[in-house]
Amino acid sequence: MTINALLLLVVLLLPRPDKSRAPGSASLANNFKMKSVSNPRWKRAVLKISGAALAGTGPQNVDPKVIMLIAREVAMASRVGVEVAVVLGGRNFFCSDTWLAATGTDRGTAYQIGMMASVMNSLLLQASLEKIGVETRVQTAFVMQEIAEPYIRRRAIRHLEKGRVVIFGGIGAGLGNPLLTTDTAAALRASEINADVLLKGTNMDVGYDCHSRTNSDAFEHIAFKDLDSRGFSAMDMTTMTFCAENNIPVVFFNLVEPGNISRALCGDHIGILIDQSGRMS
């Protein structure tokens, strides 16, 4: 047998490449995930995440797995057309209320420190989003020109319209007022940028009279006017009153469960929806 014939035989005997494992298969898998959150219900959403939800159990104040989970799912929703703004708390770095109880120092100063802690979380999320190719802008109401933009409403809306994720620093940082909660900051920003919904992600299942409190997919729909009678305490009443008066629906859900963030951002029935009607659709 000649050398050329031997080489031809070797080529014919080599295993053929598996097309299902071709480089394009990863994008096919991603497309499959995208289909699961296609046709989003919300066009523009504000996602509120507490600092406590980011806290790690190790030496770090932020769990890298949690923040990357948030980044990936925000990216997924953004890529199917949802305009996403994020408000982050800073409790994982500095808890103002705990400090006040221990020292009795000035409340305004303690809350300003909490505001700066929330900006630290914002920069971490920005870095995580940009690592996976999502354009992001961080905005605060106080001047930090080396690391963040000043908050300008029209600029924030323009960023969203261009498909960028906008992150407003947490406790009061989106407002420039340290005595207002992060939830209030998120509600105000939702109103200012004409968001369709305010989403609050927590690190635990939220359930009130649901059929199964252990089922993270349990869904309930209640009205703002029924909050008192239901013993609702997951968000301060100042924020809930503001949302009710400005007709901004609020959704509470467990953000740690994989898939929940993208589903909530796209309007799937998950967690608890609070609006004016309180009727299941």
The total of other beta-carbon atoms located within 10 Å of residue 107's CB is: 14
Encode 128-141 in three state secondary structure: HHHHCCCCEEEEEC
* Residue 59: per-residue pLDDT: 63
8 Å CB contact between 137 and 164:
yes
* Residue 46: per-residue pLDDT: 97
**How do residues 24-64 score in pLDDT, each as one tens digit?**
333 433 443 444 455 889 999 999 998 888 886 666 788 89
* Residue 171: per-residue pLDDT: 56
| Secondary structure letter of residue 45 according to DSSP | E
Cβ contacts of 222-231, under 8 Å, gap ≥ 24: 222/272, 222/273, 222/274, 222/278, 223/274, 223/275, 223/276, 223/277, 223/278, 224/274, 224/275, 224/276, 224/278, 225/278, 226/278, 227/274
**How do residues 155-208 score in pLDDT, each as one tens digit?**
999 999 999 999 998 556 445 565 677 888 899 999 999 999 999 988 765 444
**How do residues 113-170 score in pLDDT, each as one tens digit?**
888 888 999 999 999 999 999 999 999 878 888 899 989 999 999 999 999 999 998 5
What is the spatial distance between Cα 248 and Cα 275, in angstroms, rounded to a whole number?
7
pLDDT surpasses 90 at 89: no
Reported as a pLDDT band with limits 50, 70 and 90, residue 226 is: confident
**For the chain, what is the mean pLDDT?**
79
Provide, rounded to the nearest whole percent, the portion of the chain with pLDDT above 90: 40
Task: Establish how many alpha carbons lie within 13 A of residue 165's alpha carbon, considering only the half-sphere containing its beta carbon.
Answer: 31
- For residue 255, which of 245, 247, 263 has the smallest C-alpha distance? 263
8 Å CB contact between 173 and 138:
no
Average pLDDT for 223-243? 82
Lowest-pLDDT choice from 84-88, 234-238, 253-257, 261-265: 234-238
| Token pair of 75 as six digits | 């990216």
- For residue 43, which of 267, 270, 271, 280 has the smallest C-alpha distance? 267
pLDDT surpasses 90 at 9: no
* Residue 191: per-residue pLDDT: 95
8 Å CB contact between 259 and 201:
no
Q: Please give the model's pTM, rounded to 2 decimal places.
A: 0.79
Give the chain's domains with CATH numbers: 39-275 (3.40.1160.10)
